[in-house]
C-alpha cells in the first residue's frame, strides 16, 4: 500500500470518529460537587510524588478529557473552559470541527517520521513553518529560531541581545512573567529565583504602565536606567498577562520605541501568551503600532498539541549568535511543525470572530461594573479579558464558578483578577451562558448567598491565598 492510500485511510478514520454523535457536549454538567473523590485521590498522589516547586495549582480538580470548549475531570464533571490550558489549547479540545485537520496532519506525520533533529538535519516541515511564521510577522522580520517552550525562547532572545549589542544590561517590567528557565526567570518580576539560586545579573526594572501617569513615570525610569547602565535590551509584554492583563495607554510603546532607538536598545516582545490570535491580531503589539526587534512565541503555536516555540527577528540580530548557541534536541520537531502549520491556518479563519466576540464580551463586562460593587475594573482585547474584583473574593469567585461548571483563571499580584481567556472557538452563545453563571456568582457573593459548604472548601483548598 502506498502512502496516499494510507493517508486516505487516516482521513476516513478521523471522519468516522468525528461522526460519532454521542461525544457532542453543549453545556457544563456537574455530577459530583468538585473536587470529586477521584480528583481528590489523584491530587493526593501528586502531592506525594511531585516536587513542591513544580506546580502552582489553580483549582483542586484533575482533568482527564475535553471536547470543544469543555474540559472533563476524572469524576465526569464537565466545565466550560475560560482558561485554555494556560492559554495554549486555543482551539479547544478533543476531535472537533476546528481540530480535525490538525489531528489528521498529526496522525499522518506520526506514521511517517516522528522525530528528526532539525539542528543537525533539515526537514521540510520545520522549514515550511519558519516561512509561514515570517509571512504573519511584522515587516522586516526575516529569521526564525525554534525551541520548545516560551521560557527557552526568552533565554535565547537574551543571548541574541547580549551577542548583538555586546551589552549585558536588560530592562524588564515589574511583575512581568517571561518564564521559569534561568534567563527568563531572571527577567521576570515574580519571585521565581531564591537568593541562593541567584540570577543572571544586570537586570533593571521599571513599573508597567496602566494609565498616562504611570506611563510617564515608567518612561522617566527607563530613560534614567538607559543613561546610567549599559543596556542591551528591553523586555516587554504588550499586554502584561499574568500580573492581571494590564493594558498600557496607546502612546506608551511608541515613546518607548523612540527612547530605545536613540540608545540602540533592542525591544524583545514576549508574545508567548498574547500572540497568535489571542487579541484578534497575530501579535498584541500590533494594537500599539510599533515594530519590536525580537518576538518570542510559544504556548498556542501548536494549539497545545505539542510543546514548541519560536524566536522571530531580523537577520542582523539572529546572525550575531554562533552555530550551537540556540539549539536543543526537539527544535523544529516534525510533528510539532506540521501541527503548527495547520493551527495557523485555523486561527487565520478565526481572527475576525475573536475581534467581534471580544467587543461583545466588552459590553457584557461593562454591565458587570455597573451592577456589582465588588468589581473594580473590566478590560481586555479579543479573547484576553480581565475582571478585577476586591482581592478577598478571588478564590471564592473562581471556586463557586467551578461549582457552576465554569473554569476561570485567577491572576494578578493579589489574586484579584479573574482571567477570561477562552479557546478561540468559543461561540457568542457559549460566552453568554458563561457570563450568566459568573453573574450569578457575583450576585451570590454580594448577597451573602454562598453556601457554607462552598466557603469551607475555599478555606481548605486556597489556604495559602486567603
Name the grid cell of 65: 478529557
Does 300 help bind ligand PLP (rule: CB under 6 A)? no
Q: Cβ 152 to ligand PLP, closest distance in Å?
A: 7
**Cis peptide upstream of residue 236 (ω within 30 degrees of 0):** no
Q: Cβ 442 to ligand PLP, closest distance in Å?
A: 27
Q: Cβ 240 to ligand PLP, closest distance in Å?
A: 8
Shortest CA distance to 388 belongs to which of 358, 359, 360, 408?
A: 408
Does 342 help bind ligand PLP (rule: CB under 6 A)? no
Half-sphere exposure of 380 (CA within 13 A, CB side): 33
| Helix (H/G/I), strand (E/B), else coil: 70 | strand
Output 242 or 388, the one with its CB closest to ligand PLP. 242
Alpha helical stretches, state H, 98-202: 100-110, 124-136, 150-165, 182-186
Q: Cβ 233 to ligand PLP, closest distance in Å?
A: 15
Output 67 or 282, the one with its CB closest to ligand PLP. 282
- Give the distance from CA 71 to its chain's centroid: 17
Q: Cβ 322 to ligand PLP, closest distance in Å?
A: 24
Output 300 or 394, the one with its CB closest to ligand PLP. 300
Q: What is the rounded CA–CA span in Å between residue 439 and residue 368?
A: 7
Does 269 help bind ligand PLP (rule: CB under 6 A)? no
Contact letters for ligand PLP, residues 67-106 (x by CB under 6 A): -------------------x--------------------
Contacts of residue 78, defined as CB under 8 A and 6 or more positions apart, other chains included, come to: 25, 27, 28, 29, 30, 70, 71, 72, 405
Chain position whose Cβ is nearest to ligand PLP: 150
Does 272 help bind ligand PLP (rule: CB under 6 A)? yes
Positions in 128-147 near ligand PLP (CB under 6 A): none
Among the listed residues 80, 82, 178, 419, the single contact to ligand PLP using CB under 6 A: 178
Cα R_g (the chain), whole angstroms: 22
- Convert 340-402 into a string of H (helix), E (strand) and C (coil): HHHHHHHHHHHHHHHHHHHHHHHHHHHHHHHHCCCEEEEEEECCEEEEEECHHHHHHHHHHHH
Among the candidate windows 208-216, 235-243, 261-269, 329-337, which touches ligand PLP by CB under 6 A? 235-243
Q: What is the rounded CA–CA span in Å between residue 354 and residue 381?
A: 9
Does 365 help bind ligand PLP (rule: CB under 6 A)? no
Does 177 help bind ligand PLP (rule: CB under 6 A)? yes
Among the listed residues 77, 96, 105, 273, the single contact to ligand PLP using CB under 6 A: 273
Output 169 or 179, the one with its CB closest to ligand PLP. 179
> In the beta sheet, which residues pair with residue 269?
236, 295
Among the listed residues 149, 313, 357, 401, the single contact to ligand PLP using CB under 6 A: 149
Q: Cβ 16 to ligand PLP, closest distance in Å?
A: 34
Contacts of residue 426, defined as CB under 8 A and 6 or more positions apart, other chains included, come to: 69, 92, 357, 383, 434
Does 151 help bind ligand PLP (rule: CB under 6 A)? yes
Among the listed residues 73, 75, 155, 242, the single contact to ligand PLP using CB under 6 A: 242
Separation in Å, CA 421 to CA 69, 84, 233, 239, 369: 11, 6, 29, 13, 19
Q: Cβ 427 to ligand PLP, closest distance in Å?
A: 26
Does 150 help bind ligand PLP (rule: CB under 6 A)? yes
Q: Cβ 462 to ligand PLP, closest distance in Å?
A: 21
Q: Cβ 150 to ligand PLP, closest distance in Å?
A: 2
> In the beta sheet, which residues pair with residue 245?
none
Specify the residue for cell string 468589581. 375
**Can you list the pairs that 352-355 forms with residues at least 24 positions away whose Cβ atoms lie under 8 Å?**
352/280, 353/424, 354/277, 354/278, 354/279, 354/280, 354/382, 354/383, 354/424, 355/280, 355/281, 355/382
Among the candidate windows 51-59, 128-136, 266-274, 398-406, which touches ligand PLP by CB under 6 A? 266-274
Q: Cβ 254 to ligand PLP, closest distance in Å?
A: 21
Does 270 help bind ligand PLP (rule: CB under 6 A)? yes
Q: Using CB atoms within 10 Å of the CB of residue 187, give its burial: 0 to 12 exposed, 13 to 18 middle, 19+ buried.
A: buried
Q: Cβ 401 to ligand PLP, closest distance in Å?
A: 21
Does 298 help bind ligand PLP (rule: CB under 6 A)? yes
Among the listed residues 155, 237, 269, 403, the single contact to ligand PLP using CB under 6 A: 237
Q: Which residues bind ligand PLP (CB under 6 A)?
A: 86, 149-151, 154, 177-179, 237, 241-242, 270, 272-273, 298-299
Amino acid at each position: 500500500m502506498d502512502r496516499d492510500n494510507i493517508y486516505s485511510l487516516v482521513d476516513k478514520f478521523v471522519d468516522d470518529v468525528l461522526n460519532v454523535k454521542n461525544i457532542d457536549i453543549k453545556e457544563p454538567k456537574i455530577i459530583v460537587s468538585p473536587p470529586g473523590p477521584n480528583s481528590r485521590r489523584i491530587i493526593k498522589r501528586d502531592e506525594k510524588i511531585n516536587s513542591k516547586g513544580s506546580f502552582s495549582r489553580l483549582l483542586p480538580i484533575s482533568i482527564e478529557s475535553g471536547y470543544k470548549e469543555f474540559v472533563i475531570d476524572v469524576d465526569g464533571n464537565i466545565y466550560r473552559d475560560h482558561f485554555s490550558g494556560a492559554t495554549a489549547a486555543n482551539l479547544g479540545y478533543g476531535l472537533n470541527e476546528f481540530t480535525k485537520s490538525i489531528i489528521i496532519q498529526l496522525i499522518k506525520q506520526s506514521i511517517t517520521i516522528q522525530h528528526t533533529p532539525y539542528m543537525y538535519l533539515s526537514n521540510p516541515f520545520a522549514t515550511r513553518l519558519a516561512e509561514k511564521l515570517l509571512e504573519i510577522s511584522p515587516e522586516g522580520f526575516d529569521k526564525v529560531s525554534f525551541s520548545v517552550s516560551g521560557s527557552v525562547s526568552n533565554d535565547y532572545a537574551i543571548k541574541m541581545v547580549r551577542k548583538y549589542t555586546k551589552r549585558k544590561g536588560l530592562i524588564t517590567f515589574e511583575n512581568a512573567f517571561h518564564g521559569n528557565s534561568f534567563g527568563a526567570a531572571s527577567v521576570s518580576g515574580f519571585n521565581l529565583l531564591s537568593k541562593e539560586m541567584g540570577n543572571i545579573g544586570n537586570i533593571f526594572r521599571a513599573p508597567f504602565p496602566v494609565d498616562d501617569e504611570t506611563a510617564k513615570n515608567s518612561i522617566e525610569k527607563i530613560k534614567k536606567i538607559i543613561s546610567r547602565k549599559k543596556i542591551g535590551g528591553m523586555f516587554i509584554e504588550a499586554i502584561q498577562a499574568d500580573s492581571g492583563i494590564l493594558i498600557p495607554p496607546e502612546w506608551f510603546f511608541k515613546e518607548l520605541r523612540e527612547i530605545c532607538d536613540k540608545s540602540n536598545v533592542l525591544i524583545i516582545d514576549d508574545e508567548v501568551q498574547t500572540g497568535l490570535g489571542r487579541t484578534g491580531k497575530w501579535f498584541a503589539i500590533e494594537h500599539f503600532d510599533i515594530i519590536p526587534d525580537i518576538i518570542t512565541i510559544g504556548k498556542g503555536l501548536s494549539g497545545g498539541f505539542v510543546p514548541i516555540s519560536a524566536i522571530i527577528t531580523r537577520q542582523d540580530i539572529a546572525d550575531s549568535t554562533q552555530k550551537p548557541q540556540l539549539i536543543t534536541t526537539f527544535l523544529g520537531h516534525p510533528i510539532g511543525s506540521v501541527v503548527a502549520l495547520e493551527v495557523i491556518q485555523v486561527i487565520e479563519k478565526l481572527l475576525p470572530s475573536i475581534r467581534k466576540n471580544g467587543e461583545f464580551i466588552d459590553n457584557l463586562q461593562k454591565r458587570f461594573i455597573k451592577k456589582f460593587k465588588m468589581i473594580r475594573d473590566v478590560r481586555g482585547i479579543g479573547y484576553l479579558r480581565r475582571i478585577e474584583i476586591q482581592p478577598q473574593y478571588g478564590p471564592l469567585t473562581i471556586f463557586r464558578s467551578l461549582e457552576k461548571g465554569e473554569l476561570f483563571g485567577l491572576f494578578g499580584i493579589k489574586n484579584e483578577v479573574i482571567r477570561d481567556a477562552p479557546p478561540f472557538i468559543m461561540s457568542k452563545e457559549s460566552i453568554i451562558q458563561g457570563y450568566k453563571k459568573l453573574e450569578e456568582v457575583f450576585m451570590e457573593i454580594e448577597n451573602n448567598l454562598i453556601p457554607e459548604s462552598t466557603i469551607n472548601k475555599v478555606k481548605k483548598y486556597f489556604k495559602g491565598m486567603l
